[in-house]
Amino acid sequence: MTGLVTVTLVCLAIIIGLGLTREDRRQLQTSYAQLRNINLVAVDANKLSAQIAELFVAGDQDAEIREARDSLLSGLQRQRDLIREEHALAGEPDATWGGLDRVAQMEIKVQEIDQSRLLIQDHLQAGRRAEALQVFNTRIYHQLGQVLLELVEEATVRERAEVAEALASSSRLSERAVDLAIGLIVVVAVLGVANIVMMNRAILRPVSALYAGAEAVGRGDLTHVIDNPSPDELGNLSRRFNQMTGQIRDQRDSLLQAQSTLSQQVEERTRELRERSEALVASNDRLRSVDASRANFFADISHELRTPLTILRGQAEMAIRTPDADAATLQQVLSEIVRKTDQIGRLIDDLLFLARSESGSIMVNRTRVVLQDIVGDVLLDGQNMAMRPGVRIRPSQPSEPVEVRGDPDRLRQAVLIALDNAIRLAPADTTVSLELAQSQDHAHIRVRDQGPGFTGDELGSAFTRFYSARPSRPRSGRGLGLGLSIAKWIVDQHDGAIRIDSAPGRGAVVEITMPLARRAVA
């Protein structure tokens, strides 16, 4: 009877111990859910910041910004629920924890960010771009990043502490098992003294095995197994002891694995957050660069338009002040006026084309085009271009038709831009070559000149819109960084490529490459 009572008490202690380990597992799962949710909050915060940054590029983004804001607030509410669930598991549902205070601070910060976003929109609508950038950098980018990093760091420290507490609880459970086994050994030993004669061999060996198992568990060896197949109480106790150590071992391994996974997740999320922050900084820099480029472009366009208009006005005033001017003088004045108006018209055409290409309103109608026809039309137009004395245009093309699928008007425009740049930069008594060639799958159009060439910096920015060449290069109505960018847009729409091969002092080669049209099978 005494042995049965002892075994019952031991089993009850084992069940209580296993219940504690299940409680530790639930707390660990809650901690992991909090960390995963706080990383999702970090992602939503970065998304909100990025959507606000899009205001500088794409304009009105109210729907996307509200969606990102609501997602962030939903994540913060989920974080509050997880913290309260954790408090309930810990038996402290009414306690005041720093985690809830931090979530409340973050919700206040989201409202402040929304107010700052409205202020940014007001600045942008009023044309105060610099003030808008200042509000974004000081009130959104820096403050949001600081609060977010503090939240992630606090959550990480707290959850790691909870994992450590769970491991410590498992260790305490092991110690209880050792104490339980030792106490059991003492009880069994006392009973064995009374029955030493009859039950010597039946008790001492199982007790020794239990003692050895308790010592092994005390040393941290949870792989130790007690071999006692007897059906009595000690045999059952040994088997329960083995089950208990196995469960403790599994719980410990699970906790260690969870701790390792938690550390990896924290490191990965922190790296992603850092990369997103760096991407946001790069986006900010690009916004500043585009803003500066547009400012320089408008200054250049004002100069390019004012100069020919000033000349037109001067020519007209000179004709008015000379009422008795002969026909030859008036003819010269009118010719100059026509030339300048043509220059202004070409500049306006380029600006209109640029605006339409950005809005997507330019249609590219593809048909089968023979490139020899395009080259012929460009040569006719090139004869009427202004050029220095002695500049010659030398064409070269194969006799067999070279066909592509494309818009003939747009292709003619792209080739004419390259030829126009070459002619305007070609020194006197030099040759500008216009070559058409064909490889296995592609057609190639090359325009060669013997002009001043391009520097390395100019090559890197030649196709950038609003880019102007160095002051030492001759300027023309197409010297605002529009012509080559328009040509590149046209070639891109035809699945082709355009590149420049040049070096200072040895001229330049502009090459346009496009896929050949597939020939019909007879």
* pLDDT tens for each residue of 212-247: 778 877 877 777 777 777 777 777 787 888 888 888
Distance (Å, whole) CA 18 – CA 43 = 38
Q: Are 386 and 506 part of one and the same domain? A: yes
Mark which of 293, 311, 332 sits at the end of a domain.
293
Q: Which of 91-95, 150-154, 268-272, 334-338 has the highest mean pLDDT?
A: 268-272
Q: Are 343 and 397 part of one and the same domain?
A: no
pTM of the model: 0.42
In a domain, 521, yes or no: no
In angstroms, the first-to-last Cα distance of the chain is 104
- What CATH number did the domain enclosing 317 receive? 1.10.287.130
Percent of the chain that is helix, strand, coil (3-state, to 5): 70, 10, 20
pLDDT for the residue 470: 43
Distances (CA, A) of 255 to 22, 162, 449: 12, 11, 73
Least confident of 19-33, 364-378, 426-440: 19-33
pLDDT in tens, 245-304: 888 888 888 888 888 889 899 999 999 999 998 999 988 887 887 677 666 666 666 656
| Bridge-based pairing state of the strands 442-449 and 508-515 | antiparallel
Of 456, 457, 392, 379, the C-alpha closest to 418 is: 379
Please check whether residues 126 and 238 belong to one and the same domain: yes
Q: What is the pLDDT, as a whole number, of residue 30?
A: 74
Indicate whether 196 pLDDT > 70: no
- Supply the pLDDT for residue 339: 72
The verdict on 315 and 326 lying in the same domain is yes
Given pLDDT bands bounded at 50, 70 and 90, which one contains residue 445? very high
pLDDT tens digit sequence for 481-522: 567 888 898 999 999 999 999 888 788 999 999 999 886 444
- Same-domain pairing of 288 and 271: yes
Question: Considering only CA atoms, which of 450, 436, 464 is closest in space to residue 503?
Answer: 450
Tokens of 469: 């060449």
Cβ proximity of 498 and 491 under 8 Å: yes
CA 174, CA 17: separation in Å to the nearest integer? 9
How far is 313 from 303, CA to CA, in rounded Å? 15
CA dist 64 and 47 (Å) reads 10
- With a CB cutoff of 8 Å and minimum separation 6, the contacts of 39 are 152, 265, 269, 273
Residue 473 has pLDDT above 50, yes or no: no
The answer to whether residues 279 and 143 belong to one domain is yes
- Higher pLDDT: 358 or 423? It is 423
pLDDT of residue 480: 44
* Cα 277 to Cα 57, 149, 156, distances in angstroms: 18, 11, 19
What is the predicted pLDDT for the residue at 80?
83
The H or E element that residue 441 is part of is none
Q: What is the mean pLDDT of residues 102-113?
A: 82
Are 132 and 151 contacting, i.e. CB atoms less than 8 angstroms apart?
no
- Domain range enclosing 342: 294-359
pLDDT category of residue 355 using cuts at 50, 70 and 90: confident
* pLDDT value at residue 443: 96
53 — pLDDT class (breaks 50, 70, 90): confident
Collapsing DSSP to helix, strand or coil, 362 comes out as coil
* Structure tokens given for 323: 């009422």
**Do 66 and 17 contact (CB within 8 A), yes or no?**
no
Q: Are 510 and 418 in contact (CB under 8 A)?
A: yes
Residues 288 and 305 in one domain: no
Measure the CA–CA gap between 51 and 155, rounded to whole angstroms: 26
For the chain, percent of residues with pLDDT exceeding 70: 74
Amino acid identity, position 157: V
Q: Number of folded domains in the chain? A: 3
Query: 86 and 8 in one domain?
Result: yes
Q: How far apart are CA 8 and CA 19, in angstroms?
A: 17
| Residues 321 and 423 occupy one common structural domain | no
Of the residues 359, 384, 406, the one at which a domain ends: 359
Q: What whole-number distance in Å separates Cα of residue 308 and Cα of residue 408? A: 31
Residues 102 and 165 in one domain: yes
Query: What separation in angstroms does the CA of 379 have from each of 153, 376, 384, 415, 497?
Result: 68, 5, 9, 10, 22
**Quick check: 449 and 508 in contact, CB under 8 A?**
yes
- Where is mean pLDDT largest: 4-8, 12-16, 73-77? 73-77
Q: Kindly state the average pLDDT of the residues 35-60.
A: 76
Exposure b/e, 102-134, CB count within 10 A at least 16 = b:
bbeebeebbeebbebbeebbebbeeeebeebbe
Q: Looking up tokens 């507490």, which residue turns up? A: 165
Residue 206 inside a domain? The answer is yes
pLDDT, average across residues 106-130? 83
On whether the CB atoms of residues 151 and 102 are closer than 8 A, the answer is: yes
Same domain, 309 and 284: no
pLDDT of residue 469: 47
What pLDDT is recorded for position 335? Answer: 81
Domain end, chosen from 334, 359, 384, is at 359
Say whether both 246 and 335 belong to one domain. Answer: no
Do 150 and 85 touch, CB atoms closer than 8 A?
Answer: no
